Amino acid sequence: MAIGDVIEVDDRMQSGYRYTLVEPMGENFAPGFTPYCSPARMLELGVFEGKYLNDCTGEFPEDWFTNARIGDVPDISLNHFAIKSRQPLSVWREKGWIIEQDPRGWFQWYCRYYLGRRIEGVDAAQIKRWRAFARHAGQIRANCEPGDTFCRRRQRQGLLQWAHDPFI
């Protein structure tokens, strides 16, 4: 995938949507937006109970799924910290966190942003949400011994699912 490529989306949750890559993959992020890891690494570590992007693998680079921990049904054992740490999509919709371009939520936005899609205004709002999620890292630092990754596993899983460092 390269700058200028047009990605056409046709999956269970979205069809007829197209976007153009305007930045090189994994580069030229907004100032201050420094995700801990790539979408491929997040999928490899285990996020969203293995049930995310399963029906739209063709939209993203094949190598993102080579070592991904995914399955046909949600399974918390596929999460890195083996704990449930997500809300149903219906909650996200009720709170107004879902945007038209990315009906699967923040991680879908991040995957597309990482690929090189940019949307003025939308990107700033999503990055603001990413920054706000960092508060969970502060709670881990305040309540856990350094290196104790079993402490506050749910918050750690959440940090991973928001591309923050869960191993603090």
Question: For 15-63, what is each residue's pLDDT tens digit?
Answer: 999 999 999 999 999 999 999 999 999 999 999 999 888 888 999 999 9
Q: Two tokens at 133? A: 């999620």
Which of 158, 49, 142, 54 is closest to 106 using CA atoms?
A: 158
- Asked if pLDDT for residue 97 goes beyond 90, the answer is no
Angle between helices 106-115 and 122-133 (to 10 degrees): 120
> What local confidence, expressed as pLDDT, does residue 96 receive?
83
- Asked if pLDDT for residue 86 goes beyond 80, the answer is no
Which of 124, 130, 120 is closest to 162 using CA atoms?
A: 130
For the residues 93-112, what does the mean pLDDT come to? 91
The answer for residues whose C-beta is within 8 angstroms of residue 105's C-beta and 6 or more apart is 89, 92, 97, 98
Q: Two tokens at 11? A: 């999956």
**How many CB atoms neighbour CB 134 within 10 A?**
12
CB contact at 8 A, 52 and 104 = yes
Which of 129, 122, 114 is closest to 29 using CA atoms?
A: 114
Which residue shows structure tokens 């293995």? 50
Residue type, 81: F
CB contact at 8 A, 65 and 111 = no
Residue type, 49: E
Which pLDDT band holds residue 87 (cuts at 50, 70, 90)?
A: confident
